[in-house]
Structure 1
């Protein structure tokens, strides 16, 4: 007579079908959950409203430099600069970069001050899909300035969220 432990380790057709079904169900539910976890244009607008506290933004002063077409969304070069003298009387407090379709709408937040010398930074970001990117600069006087860039991505990053 076989022991219970031995029969549990023997592969049977019934166990194989059961485990394959469980794996398939897990993949389907995981993909459905990942789709819900993506940011939307409404989430981006909500985040911008939280950043500005509902104050109006003015286009200008901020330059958001991204390539308009990228082959791979895994490493997209981005430069943000703000036209500011960066003196004690006139400087950039914070620069926020937000997006529409990545898993989270907040890309990066850089805190600055008059001792920075220049209000600019360069980095590489991931983009999950073709989308609009927005940079918002908060000045020391409480005003908000922004710039937008539309980027077309041919091979999306963040694919682990889709699988």
Structure 2
């Protein structure tokens, strides 16, 4: 009789062998190639926009950023980004003083409302940005300072 543990173990072994042989499913390979490491390695807004091939960002009242003024625990800070503008390609959440500025990137299509909520990790008090990359090349953002009382990145 095959147990759940045995089946999971064998599935992991098969997946490992496929990965070693370069025989991952096409979708997994396409996503791995599309991963933009330069964007996640960016330390400043200018480096990030260059890595994404975007122009200079402009502050806008049409982009909304939600989050606490003071976060008690930097390991789980609830933030949200939204906009009602048409033509949004991507929504980004950035934390200025984190080791990797880019915390989240959401792909938006006409079928998706550009309204996202998530939790980010913050090592210290910092500005948080919600950025909308538009299909016409414009980059719009909103910014909010979030103060952290207990650091989430080892502090």
Give TM-score scaled by structure 1 length. 0.63
Is contact 2:64-2:81 (8 Å) kept?
yes
Q: What residue is the counterpart of 1:95 in the other structure?
A: 91
Q: What residue is the counterpart of 1:138 in the other structure?
A: 133
How far the C-alpha of 1:98 sits from its partner, in A, is 1.4
How far the C-alpha of 1:50 sits from its partner, in A, is 3.8
User: Structure 1: where are the runs of 5+ without partners?
Assistant: 1-40, 85-89
2-structure distance, mates of 1:78, 1:108 = 11
How far the C-alpha of 1:133 sits from its partner, in A, is 0.9
How many matched pairs?
Answer: 115
Q: Which deviates more from structure 2 when the two are superposed, residues 54-63 or residues 100-109?
A: 54-63
How far the C-alpha of 1:42 sits from its partner, in A, is 6.0
User: Structure 2: where are the runs of 5+ without partners?
Assistant: 1-41
Q: What residue is the counterpart of 2:48 in the other structure?
A: 47
Tell me which structure has the larger Cα radius of gyration: 1
**Which has a greater percent of helix?**
1
Is contact 1:72-1:153 (8 Å) kept?
yes
Q: Render the CA deviation track for 1:34-71: whole Å, top value 9, x for unaligned.
A: xxxxxxx9624422454463335242211010101011
Q: What residue is the counterpart of 2:100 in the other structure?
A: 104
1-structure distance, mates of 2:61, 2:74 = 27
Q: What residue is the counterpart of 2:38 in the other structure?
A: none
Q: What residue is the counterpart of 2:72 in the other structure?
A: 71
Q: Counterpart of 1:114 in 2: which secondary structure?
A: coil
1-structure distance, mates of 2:44, 2:83 = 25
Is contact 1:66-1:78 (8 Å) kept?
yes
Give TM-score scaled by structure 2 length. 0.66
